[in-house]
Amino acid sequence: MSALFIFDHAPIGAIVSWTDGRPRPPEHLIRACAEWKRNNTTGRLVRKRSHFVMGQSGVPANIKVTTDGIDDFGDVIGPDFRTFPVDADLSFTIVERPPAGAYRVLDGAREDAELVHLAASRARAEEWVRNCGFATPAIFEVTADEVAADHVEGRVA
């Protein structure tokens, strides 16, 4: 799948993987191995941003993932962010979608808001917001209807 497919079909909070298709180099080639790991790994989708203009330059639609840290589900989320344009030369896969009943904590209610935490319950989401002091968080439940729509439309991970 392409980054555009992820942009169009993966929900915020999904686990996605990407690869450049190259075989893994031997471990003793430290730099080559580090580069390979950067282009062949898994992360959580935290934002989808449509094309926009900054100054006089156009910025293409893109997806943002994080590959570091731990959330309530024991999955990766944290400060190591990667942004990919929708025409990136990598192959992407949706590994896992956020489960029904989970709660997304976003950094606002705008269309391109960024996921800052994925909680197992509303109470844990609210506790996380209290402890982290986000000024304008938005908390949204991952609904059973959203998960069911993915199954009906053939977007199951």
Q: Higher-confidence residue: 148 or 122?
A: 122
Cβ–Cβ under 8 Å, residues 111 and 20: no
Sheet holding 15-19, edge to edge: 81-85, 62-66, 41-49, 15-19, 91-96
pLDDT at 149: 61
pTM, whole model, 2 decimals? 0.81
pLDDT at 132: 87
Domain ranges of the chain: 3-152
The predicted-structure confidence for 59-112, as pLDDT tens digits, reads as follows 778 999 988 655 556 555 556 889 999 999 999 999 999 999 999 999 988 888
Which residues are CB-neighbours of 126 under 8 A, at least 6 positions away? 139
